[in-house]
Amino acid sequence: MTPNDMQLKQLNETVLYHLQAIYSDVSPEKPLQQLADEIISIMRLDDTFHEVIPHKNNWDQHDMVLITYGNSVQRQNEAPLKTLHHFLNEHIRDFINSVHILPFFPFCSDDGFAVMDYYEVNEKLGDWKDIEHIAQDYRLMADLVINHGSSSSEWFNNFVKGEGPGHDFFFTAPQNAPVSQVVRPRTSPLLRETETEDGTKYVWCTFSHTQVDFDFRNPDVLKEFINIVRFYLDKGIRIFRLDAVAFLWKRAGSNCLNLPETHEVVRLMRSLIQHAQPDAVIITETNIPNRENLSYFGNANEAHCIYNFSLPPLLVNTMVTGNCTYLKQWLMSMPPAQNGTAYFNFIASHDGIGLRPAEGLLSEAEIASLINTMQHFGGQISWRAGDNGVKKPYEINISLFDALQGTTQGKDDWNIDRFICAHAIMLALEGIPGIYIHSLFATSNDLEKRARTEQNRGINRHEWDYDTLQNKLADPDTQHHKVSSLLKKLIHLRQQQRAFHPNATQFTLHMGEHLFGFWRQSMDRRQSIFCIYNVSDTPQPLRIAELNLVVTDRWWDLISGHIFDESAETVSVAPYQVLWITNG
């Protein structure tokens, strides 16, 4: 037996182990060994098997992800994906190397997250050639909408008919199923009554009634999604965002969230993807409380990256209160990511500022104050069904630029400074930064789209006309030009610092309520950076001696260039000023 045969045999055993854990309480019709063989064949691992280097970091400080819809920038008489590609090459290429294009498939609702056909590109956006061309120039991230599919899909139509591909893909439950404990991000009824050729059935809808949950108890569903993964790899996709994966497995009488089988499916996906494409990455999208979110790292054998969902609400709260206490407490409690895993940091997205990840981190009074402040700045509130159907706030829908236009005391003149300070915190934290396209260009609330679509999330999903945006970015007096220029400078600075590697050492500093700070050290220990931020609207004194700078090193601020010659020096840190003090 050759070494490659031995490794393939070991992978087969690993896949079988995962399947046995997934289906321990289910009795599939076919033997699990046969299923393991079929899965390996689907991924073509018997022909393209790659050895995996344990704990390898497929990223460094140069990596930065732009998050965008396929039609966020549009031009007449041109497919939006082509327009986006042109725009990326003109404005993004020099400082961002990865792009997350939100669902670009045919869909029926939720701006793409109710997928009708996983193998097609929405013809209103373009085609697979457009996707492949972008993937040639950027590391492409795409959504694997794995929990649910569209009620307008061929699969669901076949479910209604009771025959054809996908007819047995969807999760059903008795009308009187015990679902009071089920945790969901929506307030609509969980079960949707559906008339089929086999009579009335009740399909499970964690999100909306146009998004019907898949039944992963059926191994054919698992096989189908593995086939989709293989197809996406062939199209050049290298980062897989597992959308809403925490809800994947259902069990009667439980909360149907983060069940062991769900984690095992993620482990299986990682085993398969990393052997098929060693530089490919899995990111789990789990908008849930912090401790549960962290569990998706597993033992460096589940997600390569997890969304740092607690960062947006904590950071926005910090910036509008001028008090970093909660943010500092959270940062001190965060475990360093093992090599081979990393945090995915973001502070704005296509959805909103999630409040579930703030549970247990912010008090109810603090959350209520944050909600009240955001509503004064034009924000909307989306709700979810909690335990026993109790209605709770789920997320704040608002553009980040407008969210930071003031403090709990109201609007002020520090909008841009506060906005840049927030991003400077994100850019320096342990992890890989992701920046939403509308943050990069300081897009304000789109109240017209919110009213037209009657969807709260529409407020932060503006669609720019290409020429209009070009003109605003070229005008030095606009917020769009000012913010974009400042962010680009910070990103360039970040990429030149070894201490900003996503896995470089990080320690939290203690400098009171108004100065937030942490220390980063490069993996070779040759560079240190003290990252210090005034998160308030008043100047704050900083005694350099408190940083315990090594006296034999030369220290200066990367942003201003100021050199710190004396350890006894005290500097005044202006409102929302950023200091990145380094020794090289």
What pLDDT score does 371 carry? 97
What pLDDT score does 573 carry? 97
pLDDT above 80: residue 504: yes
pLDDT above 60: residue 1: no
Q: Which residues are annotated as a binding site for substrate?
A: 110, 148, 241-243, 350-351, 457
pLDDT above 90: residue 584: no
pLDDT above 70: residue 325: yes
- Of 1-5, 235-239, 282-286, 292-296, give the lowest mean pLDDT range: 1-5
Other C-beta atoms within 10 Å of 576: how many?
A: 23
What are the tens digits of pLDDT across the range 514-554? 999 999 999 999 999 999 999 999 999 999 988 988 888 99
What are the tens digits of pLDDT across the range 105-145? 999 999 999 999 999 999 999 999 999 999 999 999 999 99
What pLDDT score does 520 carry? 98
Query: CA 443 to CA 464: how far, in whole Å?
Result: 9
* Stretch (H or E) spanning 11: helix 3-22
What are the tens digits of pLDDT across the range 202-216? 999 999 999 999 999
- Using the CB atoms, write b or e for 37-61: b if 16+ within 10 Å: eebbebbebeeebeeeeeeebbbeb
Query: CA 581 to CA 554: how far, in whole Å?
Result: 10
pLDDT band at 583 (very low <50, low <70, confident <90, very high): very high
What pLDDT score does 50 carry? 84
**Residue boundaries of the structural domains of the chain:** 505-582
Torsion, Cα 497 501 502 503, to 10 degrees, reads -140
What pLDDT score does 253 carry? 86
Domain 505-582 has CATH 2.60.40.1180: yes
Residues in the chain, how many? 584
What pLDDT score does 294 carry? 96
What pLDDT score does 131 carry? 98
Amino acid in position 417: D
Q: Where are the beta strands (DSSP E) in 386-514?
A: 391-397, 406-407, 410-411, 432-436, 464-465, 505-508
What pLDDT score does 54 carry? 87
What are the tens digits of pLDDT across the range 332-372? 999 999 999 999 999 999 999 999 999 999 999 999 999 99
* Stretch (H or E) spanning 401: helix 400-403
Instruction: Give the three-class secondary structure for 236.
Output: coil
Candidate list 243, 402, 417, 446, residue with the active-site label: 243
What pLDDT score does 390 carry? 76
* 524 has catalytic annotation: no
- Of 3-12, 257-266, 298-307, 401-410, give the lowest mean pLDDT range: 3-12
pLDDT band at 300 (very low <50, low <70, confident <90, very high): very high
What pLDDT score does 2 carry? 63
Amino acid in position 194: T
Contacts of residue 139, defined as CB under 8 A and 6 or more positions apart, other chains included, come to 63, 97, 98, 99, 238, 239
What pLDDT score does 566 carry? 66
Backbone angles phi, psi at 425, to 5 degrees: -65, -50
Summarize the confidence of residues 230-235 as an average pLDDT. 98
pLDDT above 60: residue 165: yes
Query: CA 202 to CA 196: how far, in whole Å?
Result: 10
pLDDT band at 49 (very low <50, low <70, confident <90, very high): confident
Q: Which residues are annotated as a binding site?
A: 110, 148, 241-243, 350-351, 457
What are the tens digits of pLDDT across the range 390-448? 788 999 999 999 999 999 999 999 999 999 999 999 999 999 999 999 999 999 999 99
What pLDDT score does 233 carry? 98
Summarize the confidence of residues 308-322 as an average pLDDT. 97
Query: Which region holds residue 240: left if phi is over 0, alpha if psi is between -120 and 50, else beta?
Result: beta
Mean pLDDT of the chain: 95
